[in-house]
Amino acid sequence: MTTVSDPAAAGGWLAEARPALRAAVRIGPGLQKGTAVVHLIGDRDTQAFLRVGPREAFLMSQLDGRRTLADISAEYAGRFGKRLGEAHWQQLLGLLHSHALIDPAAPEQLDAVREKTAVARRAAGRSPLLWRRPLPGAAELVVPLARRIGWLLHPLAAVPLTLLGTAVAVFVLLEWSTLWSAVTESPSRWTAGLVGFTVGWLVIAGHEFFHGIACVRYGGRPTEIGVMWRFPMIAPYCKVDDVVTFPRPGQRVVTSFAGVYVNLIALIPFAAFWWWGPQTGWWHGLAGALLLFGVVSAVANLIPVLKLDGYHMLEHATSTSNLQGESFRFAGAFLRRGPAGIAGYPRRARVIYSAYAVLATAILGPALVLLVRSWYSSLADLWSPAVAVAVLVAEAVAVCGLLRWAVVWKRRATEAA
C-alpha cells in the first residue's frame, strides 16, 4: 500500500474530491469467513454484490459526498495506522466505478452491470443437483403483500403465534402414532396423503413468500421467487440476497426464520381441523396428514446441516459466511496438521467452527448409520446379506461419483462464466 505523509501533496485532487456512493448501495456487516472478515456490498438497483475487506468497507462507508478524500485518509490513519496515498485511492475508486457504485452512474453502465449479474446468477443456479426457474413477476408481488400482511411479523403477533404453533408441533410429535394411524386407516389413505402433500406444498410456497416479506420489512427486496429442483425434490424458493447487508443479526435471523414461522402458523388451523372436525373417516385422515407433513417440513427446515432455514439462521446469528464449508475446512486443517493447522484462525472463529463441526458430526453420523443399517436390513431380508453389502457398496461408489461429477461440472461452469 502506498503511504505519504500528506495526502494533499500526493495529489491536490485528494483535498478537493468528495465522491459518494449511490443511494442504493448498502455496506453489509463484517462476516467471519475462514481466517478473514469480509463485508458484502449490495447494490439494490442492479442486484449486484461485491465482497471487500474491513479496510475497504470502512473507506466506502465514509464516501458520503461531504468529506474529502484527504479527510477520510486522516480518519483511516487514525483507525488503521496508515495514511492512504493517491495510488491506493485511484485503485479503490476505479474498482467502485467499474461496478457503478459511485454516484452518478451512467444508465448504460447500470444496465451492463445488471446483465452481467443476471448471467452470473443463472450460471450459479444450475448444476446436476440444483436447478432454479424464476417465475416472472413473482418477486414484484412481495412488496404489496408486505404492506397488507407484514404486520404478522410484528412481535405482538409473531411471538404468540410462534408459541402456539410450537405447542401444536409438540402435540404432533407426542401423538405421532395416533395421527399416523388416522392416515393409514383412512378409507382412501393415498388420496388423503396426496391432498395433504398438495396443501403442504402450498404452505411451502407461503413459506418462501414470507422470506421475501421479512426482507422487505427490513428495507431489502427479494431478487427471485420460483421453483427449484434440489436433489431429490422440487419446491418453491425465494432468494433474499439483500439479507447479507442488514446491519443487525436479529434482522437477518428473522428473515431466515420467517418461512418456518409460516409452517408453525399453518399448524394451528390444521390442529383445529383435527380436534373439532370429523373424528373418523377420510377427513380425519386428511387432518392427520396435514399435521404430520407440516411438522416434518418445519423440523427439516430447522436442521442446521441441510443448508435450509435453520442453517442460515445459525449462520446469521454467528455473523459468518459459508459456515458449513469453512467449518469442514477448519476441521480438515486440524486433522491434517493439528493445532498448527488452525493457528491462523482468530479465537472466535475457532470456537464457532469447532462447535459447528461437532454439531454436524453429531447429526450426520447417527443419521448415516441409521440409514445404512435400515437399508441393509431391508436388502438382506429381500435377498441375502452378501447381496445387501454389494448393493450398498455400489450405491456408495455411485453417489461419490455423482457428487464428484457435480463439483467438477459446477467448477467448469463457473470458470466459463
- Please list the pLDDT of the chain residue by residue as tens digits (417 residues): 333 344 344 457 888 889 999 999 999 999 999 999 999 999 999 989 999 999 999 999 999 999 999 999 999 999 988 888 888 899 999 999 999 999 998 999 999 999 998 888 777 666 666 788 888 888 899 999 999 999 999 999 999 999 999 999 999 999 999 999 998 888 887 888 788 888 988 999 999 999 999 999 999 999 889 988 876 678 899 999 999 999 999 999 999 999 999 999 999 999 999 999 998 888 999 999 999 999 999 999 999 998 899 999 999 999 999 999 999 999 999 999 999 999 999 999 999 999 999 999 999 888 888 888 887 788 788 788 887 788 888 888 888 887 777 667 666 655 554
C-alpha cell at position 97: 466505478
Conformational region of residue 319, where left means phi above 0, alpha means psi within -120 to 50, and beta covers everything else: left
Phi-psi region of 133 (alpha: psi -120 to 50; beta: other; left: phi over 0): beta
Where exactly are the structural domains of the chain?
7-119, 125-317, 349-416
**Cut 0.75: pTM above it:** yes
Q: Which helix (H) or strand (E) holds 289?
A: helix 281-302
Task: Measure the CA–CA gap between 402 and 408, rounded to whole angstroms.
Answer: 10
Domain 7-119 has CATH 3.40.630.30: no
Cα 326 to the center of its chain, rounded Å: 15
